[in-house]
Homo-oligomer: A and B are copies of this chain.
Amino acid sequence: MTSCPLPRSRYEKILLGHGSGGKLSADLLQRIILPAFENPTLNGLEDQAILKLPVSKGRLAFTTDSFVVKPIFFPGGDIGKLAVHGTINDLAVGGAKPLFLSAAFILEEGFAIDDLDRIVKSMSLACKEAHVELVTGDTKVVDRGKGDQIFITTSGVGWVPETCSLSIANAQPGDHVLVSGTVGDHGIAILSVREGTLFETPLQSDTAPLTSLAQLILEVCPETRCMRDPTRGGVASTLNELAIASNVGVKIQEAAVPLKNEVKAACEMLGLDPLYVANEGKLIAVVPSRDSEKVLAAMRNSPLGAQSMKIGEIVEDHPKRVTIQSRMGAERIVTLLTGEQLPRIC
């Protein structure tokens, strides 16, 4: 896509006045935000979006996330694309069809309007690809040195069929743990930009919308216990939350965890455990063992799940704990990290 050049204006940087609710706010909205998302609900400029839901039966899914990733542009994406995918994925892994998004921007005085334009265009494209509409939003400006370029908070609503009841409290001993592809790509992609190029070809973030993959899993296996996208904190944190909520043990096979060579190399070089590194286009599904092969086959046929693997099982032993068995056969506990491995990863 070649994006057309932004019409030149008097303002090339964000001013405090762009957050005033006055003429500059209106200008920013008319010139940058509305043209990107162009839909009748947003164009109405009401204080709230009023939305017709597609069917009356079912339940509402509602989620929110703030995005403070640094740098704001990185291989494979940017803060805007991430903010759209992150919120869509939190709906999708709950079994919901994502429908509508909101976006609230906190801009730092002096932020380049061209960068904002690039980010909202990227968000718009991500929305179109995922068949969701961005229907309401807000823009605030903070004084220079009191923010960091741009923070974006997206919220999303979706619709869940009445029959669907996924929960991290549902896992049962014997269930299989599946992951939809290579682990740690997003975190290492961000880190490689921060640390200077670690690789000859830059590793791309895996940021992607998981709706189709999640829906596919539910079609093939309506008894799926739960799905999660292992973002911040990685696979290790997600599995720990699951073990605690379901009061079960989780046993992972190290050899089964799919890893890109670059991620493996970077983790070895930097002393990181890839299980804790963030993903933005992967999901973990816990399914009854009888359905595991069928679900894996379906996932592998899907573009975003080609490298899906069964990485472990739910066990009765060591409830509330996650263990990993190394290639050499040794077993160790995978705890929740106390500190922060990679700040501002999403």
Secondary structure at chain A's binding surface: helix, strand, loop or mixed? mixed
For window 157-172 of chain A, which residues contact chain B by CB distance below 8 Å?
157-158, 160, 167-169
Q: How far, in whole Å, are A153 and B83 apart by their CA atoms in the complex? A: 14
Q: Is the CB of B100 within 8 A of A50?
A: no
Which of A102-110, A121-129, A173-181, A259-267 faces chain B? A102-110
* Interface assignment of A344: CB less than 8 Å from any CB of chain B: yes
Q: Which residues does chain B contribute within 8 Å of A337, judged by CB atoms?
A: 17, 20, 22-23
How many A residues touch B, CB cutoff 8 Å? 84
- Residues of A at the B interface (CB closer than 8 Å) are 15-17, 19-26, 44-53, 56-57, 59-68, 90-91, 93-94, 96, 100, 102-106, 135-138, 140-143, 145-148, 151, 153, 155, 157-158, 160, 167-169, 228-229, 231-234, 237, 241, 245, 276, 335-341, 343-344
Q: How many copies of this chain does the complex contain?
A: 2
Contact status of A46 and B142, CB under 8 A, knowing A22-B338, A339-B22: no
Could you say which of A21, A24, A233, A343 has the most chain B C-beta atoms within 10 Å of its C-beta? A21
Q: Which residues does chain B contribute within 8 Å of A60, judged by CB atoms?
A: 50-53, 60, 100, 157
Q: Which residues does chain B contribute within 8 Å of A52, judged by CB atoms?
A: 59-60
Contact status of A63 and B136, CB under 8 A, knowing A90-B47, A146-B147: yes
Q: Is the CB of B49 within 8 A of A63?
A: yes
Q: How far, in whole Å, are A179 and B102 apart by their CA atoms in the complex? A: 29
